[in-house]
Amino acid sequence: GAVVSQHPSWVICKSGTSVKIECRSLDFQATTMFWYRQFPKQSLMLMATSNEGSKATYEQGVEKDKFLINHASLTLSTLTVTSAHPEDSSFYICSASDLSPEAFFGQGTRLTVV
Amino acid sequence: GQQVMQIPQYQHVQEGEDFTTYCNSSTTLSNIQWYKQRPGGHPVFLIQLVKSGEVKKQKRLTFQFGEAKKNSSLHITATQTTDVGTYFCAGNSNSGYALNFGKGTSLLVTP
């Protein structure tokens, strides 16, 4: 199957700093990528839909100025958590699809803000 | 908006017992997908169901899609310790590609 690589797999940052998470489709072009957030022992919550070359579509309640998404190419989308706070600590996962119905997930990024 | 509900939240079984998780959507789905997430891992695609009343099997796993395309179930026969993980259903509405995930059922299998 298609491979989606997410980096970094974990990051610890100080409160007030920004963190960038990359999501790459390695062997296919993804016009659309999705960003999810997962709290411990909870489900995946869709944060935003990232479209190549255009602005991301954010879900209700997700602050677009805090979670900056850039989808500059067909193989790369980035999520930047700006001015991170401890409540932003979570597991962030991206997914992308090729022509198949299956969504391919990145490995996820565990963010801890101290 | 569309809501996908999944029960039970947790299930603890003895190895060899059967296990079932149920998924129910507030709206009609164009398709439903099932994923398995091991502790510390990311969701891994298991299967997609598209047709009303569809039943698919993967070895000990049986997946069903309701006639109204609003509910689904995953049944595991004779569980094994390797079945441990959280099973998520995820629905696609007719209007979009983003998946709406259920809350997941965490399965624990003890030998």
d(C-alpha B54, C-alpha B49), whole Å: 7
Tokens of A6: 């997410």
Whether residue B2 is predicted with pLDDT greater than 80 in this model: the reply is no
pLDDT digits (tens, 9 = 90+) for B96-108: 567 889 999 999 9
CA distance B27 to chain A (A): 18
E strand map for A41-84: 44-51, 57-58, 67-73, 76-81
Yes or no, beta carbons of B101 and A106 under 8 Å apart: no
CB atoms within 10 A of CB B69: 22
Burial class (CB in 10 A: 0-12, 13-18, 19+), B84: middle
Residue of A nearest to B92 (CA): A101
Does A93 sit within 8 Å of B42, measured CB to CB? yes
CA distances from A1 to A10, A28, A101 (A): 24, 10, 12
- Are B99 and A103 an interchain contact pair (Cβ–Cβ within 8 Å)? yes
pLDDT in tens, A51-109: 888 889 999 999 999 999 999 888 999 999 999 999 999 999 999 877 667 788 999 99
Handedness of CA A90, A91, A95, A101 (dihedral sign): negative
pLDDT value for B41: 85
Q: Which residues of B touch A32 (CB under 8 A)?
A: 97
In this predicted structure, what is the pLDDT of residue A51? 85
